[in-house]
Structure 1
Amino acid sequence: MTETIHVQIGTTPDRGDLEETLEAIDAGESVESEPARLTVESLELFGRIFRPTNLELLEAIAEHDPASIRELARIVDRHPPEVTENVHELADYGLVELVDDGRAKRPTIWYDEIEISGDVPLRNATDDAAPA
């Protein structure tokens, strides 16, 4: 069964559903209720979170299940401090969970795919009149 995280580009950050889902997973509970959602407040923030380097990390975690951030850095051939910074950013948004594994932190994800939706305004909402 494919697990999906739904990402919405919107005006208000709402990570409540995602945090509840992660807590349920940590508690060993089933998570078949409503789909997990992450709302990011702007297209700019969405671009930062889902930039190519972060997507590469998510794909490497999904494919290789690394035992540590250092191992993940070796997989993607990047410096560990940079990977650590990116992984912590992804963890801040609930896209990666860091599991204590001895002295290491093991990055994990619980989903198989990301579904993205949202509107991209081409003009400021206060611009009601068309240019002359």
Structure 2
Amino acid sequence: MTRTLHVIIDSESDRSDLEDTLVALDAGEDVDPEPSTLSVEDLETFGRLFRPTNLELLEAIATHDPSSIRELARVVGRHPPEVTQNVTELADYGLVELEQDGRAKRPVVWYDEIDVDIPIGRHSPDTARA
């Protein structure tokens, strides 16, 4: 079963759906296979979260299952403090979970794919052209 994270850009950002999924995962419950949704407040934030270095981290976490952020830094060939900062930001948005493993924090991604909707214009029935 593929688990999908759906990302939208919405100025009225609401992460409650994503937070419910994360709580269920933490409790060891099965999660709904329907996509969970992460609302990102604007295109600038989206660009920061999904810049190439962060995508490389997400892929490395999913592929290598590192036991700590330090190990993740070794896998991607970057300095641990920089990787820690990036992973913390990803965790703040729910893109990565940090599981306490002794003194280390183990980064985990709980989804298999990311589906993104990027609006290029706002259209309402009043502004749509016939």
TM-score (norm. length: structure 2)? 0.90
Counterpart Cα distance in 1 of 2:120 and 2:106: 35
Task: Note the residue ranges of structure 2 that are not aligned, 5 or more in a row.
Answer: none
Q: Which amino acid aligns with 1:110?
A: W
Q: What one-letter code is carried by the residue in structure 1 that aligns with 2:44?
A: E
Please state whether the residue corresponding to 2:100 is helix, strand or coil. Answer: strand
User: 1:33: how far off?
Assistant: 6.2
Residue 112 of structure 1, CA deviation: 0.5
**1:87-102 equivalent positions in 2, closer than 5 A:** 87-102=87-102
* 1:10-89 → structure 2 map (5 Å cutoff): 10-32=10-32, 34-89=34-89
Paired position in structure 2 for 1:116:
116
Distance in 1, matches of 2:72 and 2:119, equals: 33
Unaligned runs of 5+ in 1: 123-127
* Whole-angstrom CA distance in 2 between matches of 1:8 and 1:79: 31
Q: What value does the CA root-mean-square deviation take over the aligned residues?
A: 1.5
* 1:9 Cα offset (Å): 1.1
Match of 1:125 in 2: none
Task: Judge which range, 38-47 or 82-91, deviates more.
Answer: 38-47
Task: Give structure 1 regions of 4+ aligned residues with deviation exceeding 3 angstroms.
Answer: none
The secondary structure found in structure 1 opposite 2:54 is helix
Structure 1: which amino acid aligns with 2:53?
T
Over the matched positions of the two proteins, sequence identity in percent amounts to 68
Determine helix, strand or coil for the equivalent of 1:116.
strand
